[in-house]
Chain A
Amino acid sequence: MRNLFGLAVGSLILAAGAEAGTLTIHVGPPALGRGGTNPVSIPPVNPIEYEILYATDGGWETVIGLIPGLFFNRRARTSGGGSYVSFGGGLVIDGNGQGPGIDAAIGYDYGKPIALNLEYRQAVGYDFGSSTVLSPYTLRIGASFFF
């Protein structure tokens, strides 16, 4: 798992150097597959509450988070607006396991060059080990940096 995260972070750094885009840092409680989400911790020191997104101006998005997982997505922005929808696939992780799956998100950036971001993200995956369908989700808030 640590190697996978290293690979993902490395890919993110390479991608960030290659093309202009948006880097978003999120905080917010994830739903682990054990009910809804708890309130965000105060102060927010729990690593499962964090997520990093990198979206290129070309419409590609990389998502790195302990929950709901690691994803590579297509992102579509509304013309002239701050809202976007993304859809793709990757590794879904929640409290009941991990496995391949798909994810989708809707979000909004308010402001520029630094924006307040609010995003809902959901994923569905399958853990072959426990034969479980995983359905984590997050509602997170954060900051987006346009460069």
Chain B
Amino acid sequence: MAHGQRLLASLLACKALALGATSSFALEAALGVAAVDEGDDRRRPAAMLHAGFNDNWQSNALYYGRVNGPVREETYLASVSRRWSPFSSKNVVASLGAAILDEKLTIAYEDAADAAQDLTENNYNAGLAFGLTWLPFRGTGPLYFAASWDAHIFGAGQGTFFLSTGRKESISLLLGMEMR
């Protein structure tokens, strides 16, 4: 029994060391600006938040919107992705993960007489996130800079079976800090 426990402990220790070797501790946080395309070849300015964990995981959040009279349109987009370096350069990183979207519409009239027409609507969707990121200073810290090209792909209801999709694409520049 004792031999078995020691063997198991040794195997677990080896596994932990192996994991440590391939995924070093790192934290990164960054803010940025993005240009978002919703499928119509027009770019909308957006704010972006980025967090990275242990080289292998990242999370992005995008926010953009506009106000037109009583109508306020806002889009919240968040993703969590696994990332890796597919090419020979460690400065180019690919990511694949899950994305969630909230397209919020608020109609609020100034006149109290029109208050009955006020409306708040949230349209949620879940999809996939894929991106390529260029990190020119990766691993040199504490500066974190990235140029990222990300897609958030959402199925179009039952049309998904016939490959019908919608997409939010962002091209972003991020600046922040990295800790190792």
B-binding residues in A (CB < 8 A) = 28-29, 31, 33-40, 42, 74, 76, 78, 84-85, 87, 94, 96, 104, 106, 120, 122, 124, 132-135, 137, 139-141
Contact = CB atoms under 8 A, between A and B. Distances in A.
A33 B132 contact: no
Interface of B: 37, 39-41, 43, 86-87, 92, 94, 96, 128, 130, 132, 149, 151, 153, 156, 159, 162-167, 169, 171
A85 B87 CA distance: 9
A135 B92 contact: no
B86 A139 contact: no
Contacts of B87: 74, 76, 85, 87
Main secondary structure, interface of B, reads strand
Contacts of A31: 39, 165, 167
B75 to A, nearest CB: 15
Given A33-B41, A36-B156, A36-B164, A137 B151 contact: yes
B41 A139 contact: no
B164 A120 contact: no
A107 to B, nearest CB: 10
Contact of B164 (A29, A78, A135, A137): A29
13 contacts: A29-B163, A31-B165, A36-B39, A36-B156, A38-B164, A39-B164, A84-B86, A85-B94, A94-B41, A120-B151, A120-B153, A124-B149, A137-B169
